[in-house]
A = this chain, B = another copy of it.
Amino acid sequence: MDKKEEILKTALKLFVEFGFHATPTSKIAKEAGVANGTLFHYYKTKDELILALYAHTKSRLTEYMYANASKDESLELVFKSIYTNTIEWAQENKAEFYFIQQFSTSPFYGLITPEEITKQAKPHLDFLQDGIKVAVIKPMPVDLLYTLINSHIAGINQYLSSQEFSTPKQKKIINESFQLLWDMIT
């Protein structure tokens, strides 16, 4: 078992349940089954652990977003695939997705450099910019577009998490809400 990963996994779980500062490093170490010093061997400070966890989780999401997105499909189908993948991942990794949101609306987010944020958003913005260039997506600032899409997804995810839906019902909601979003931006 990889202790470094075990620490991240446990930290995620506890941060989501209790919050960043209400989760002592000692508790993370104990529940991860490692010694106190081991945690600080891998992560020099608690902040570093939190930032590493965010980077790790965010990249896992990004990877999944673009899974099986063949470039041959139409822009709409590619976009729908990304949309669906994102919501699927969020539903299957609720704690992870919640953690990303929790982190993003916390002072820790300020520790990430603007460059890193820009770099992270770049591929998505390029994709959207292309959609505008080929006159499929309405002309508007890509930043605005990007934010609207992200918020929409966050909203759908929140709704899906608020109750227990059967899988087909859930699929139906995702399809219909995608149509709402797609109609809004095209």
Contacts and interface: CB of A to CB of B under 8 A. Distances in A.
Nearest to A107: B19
A158 interface: yes
Contacts of A143: 159, 162
B144 A151 contact: no
Nearest to A181: B184
A101 B105 contact: yes
Q: Is the interface of A mostly helix, strand, loop or mixed?
A: helix
Contact of A159 (B104, B106, B147): B147
A41 interface: no
A158 B147 contact: yes
Interface residues of A, number: 38
Interface in A70-110: 98, 101-102, 104-108
B148 A107 contact: no
- Copy number in the complex reads 2
B151 A155 contact: yes
A58 interface: no
Interface in A85-140: 98, 101-102, 104-108, 140
A9 interface: no
Contacts of A13: none
Contact of A155 (B22, B104, B150): B150
23 contacts: A19-B20, A19-B21, A19-B106, A21-B22, A98-B105, A101-B105, A102-B105, A104-B105, A140-B176, A143-B159, A143-B162, A144-B173, A147-B158, A148-B155, A148-B156, A150-B155, A151-B151, A151-B154, A151-B158, A152-B155, A154-B154, A180-B185, A183-B183
Interchain residue pairs A-B with the least CB separation, the first 3:
A21-B21, A151-B155, A151-B151
